[in-house]
């Protein structure tokens, strides 16, 4: 941040290369990482956006919590991406984190969601790549390409 002579604070501007604004990856939100890196990578390898990919898919309805006369619903779990085989069978869950997290930081969450959906594969990504966990036991967890 820079302080101007009149006392106002300015946010650090993005770098400009020729006529393009370039944002630092570490400064992007999780939503930005999903839309700028993860989804394009999934689409690039042939997944169909309209037939095979669901974004922010609710995994549960959220538990009902009763405290005296007060009734609340617990947090609804949502998977960042669920990839479907033939439109109806969940094949993989992809969990995203912002680029300040390690590439595998979303794996525990992805595995939880994959278990709820009975999906055989779980992926975690921070936009730099993907980590794969094969829940069928056929393969050890590893850094992998795009699902």
Is 41 part of any domain?
yes
Is 122 part of any domain?
yes
Lowest mean pLDDT among 20-24, 30-34, 125-129: 20-24
Is 7 part of any domain?
no
Is 36 part of any domain?
yes
From CA 90, how far away is CA 40, in angstroms rounded?
Answer: 20
Is 1 part of any domain?
no
Structure pTM? 0.75
User: For residue 134, with 0-12 CB atoms within 10 Å meaning exposed, 13-18 middle and 19 or more buried, which class applies?
Assistant: middle
Query: What's residue 61's pLDDT?
Result: 73
Q: Please write the tens of the pLDDT for every residue from 97-122.
A: 999 999 999 999 999 999 999 999 99
Number of structural domains found in the chain:
1
**CATH number of residue 94's parent domain:** 3.90.1570.30
Full residue range of the structural domain in which residue 113 is found = 28-144
Is 8 part of any domain?
no
The mean per-residue pLDDT over the stretch 30-38 comes to: 96
Is 18 part of any domain?
no
From CA 14, how far away is CA 73, in angstroms rounded?
Answer: 40
Is 22 part of any domain?
no
Q: What is the end-to-end Cα distance of the chain in Å, rounded? A: 38
**Is 123 in contact with 94 (CB distance < 8 Å)?**
yes
């Amino acid at each position: 941040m820079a302080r101007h002579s009149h006392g106002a604070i300015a946010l650090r501007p993005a770098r400009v290369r020729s006529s393009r604004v370039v944002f630092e990856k570490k400064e992007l939100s999780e939503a930005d990482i999903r839309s700028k890196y993860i989804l394009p990578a999934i689409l690039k390898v042939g997944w169909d956006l309209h037939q095979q990919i669901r974004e922010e898919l609710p995994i549960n309805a959220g538990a009902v919590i009763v405290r005296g006369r007060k009734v609340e619903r617990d947090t609804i779990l949502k998977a960042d991406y669920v990839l479907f085989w033939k439109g109806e069978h969940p094949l993989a869950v992809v969990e995203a984190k912002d680029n300040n997290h390690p590439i595998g930081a979303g794996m525990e969450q992805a595995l939880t969601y994959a278990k709820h959906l009975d999906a055989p594969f779980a992926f975690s990504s921070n936009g730099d790549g993907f980590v794969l966990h094969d829940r069928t036991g056929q393969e050890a967890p590893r850094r992998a390409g795009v699902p």
